[in-house]
Structure 1
């Protein structure tokens, strides 16, 4: 079984993915971590030194590489992954269940305020601009996210509740 978690940055994909993989007793992969290992660099450094176009190109390449693996896993994508190249087609054509973790703008902003420095797309935004940016960006990306096989609303739920809900969805 292959499960792909997608959604906006700070939606909880990695946190949920790690717990879900433990519960299902399968590997957890984070596409950003995979890219960092392969490129021997951080996402921030790749963005800064080689630019977003380079990053999106290698992200596409590594997404295909991970999805070609034979073993079962839970894969957490970067927030922008489904929105570039033909990544959503690659995801939809994989023998996998994709799940959109849907979070409200206000909750995303609250989470991002604590971790802006680690997020290249929002690191330079002041707090006032963050809400406007997230709302606009999420609106643009929602088209891709909503193509996932399933959607889970996560605003008022704890990680263990989301994991249980996803587990039910899979059966």
Structure 2
């Protein structure tokens, strides 16, 4: 049985261990796109932050429409097979936009600490704040999560039907 505590625990594991999120956007002409991005997670309310070039396809799509969907995934096993007990994933929907310059300090350090936990790497790859403000060509983007689902593991072993279970945002980890 999946209770709120186990759903929150699984979500916490995904947020800690998944290195990338897949972000789906749609162009003004209706063309879909998915980008794989490194991210930082911020709780209360649930948010993701990622960095990208303003000229990238997903950034141009976001400038036209802020609605997004995305996923995180952990795969168990390795070269010898898949450990199904270690497989887990989440999907979400939300709204995404550039982090306003006035809020850049709020997310800047947390984003770079999450993406580059090693301090030496962080110093090497961290963009200065000035490179994340207009007219520079990079930005931090903020996804405000509106809905969250996990793979529903309750019946998979019995019928092999891939289902999702929605997790109320209030049940997501608070840190």
TM-score norm. by structure 2 comes to 0.26
Instruction: Pick the structure with more helix per residue.
Output: 1
Q: Which has the higher strand share?
A: 2
Normalised by the size of structure 1, how large is the TM-score?
0.26
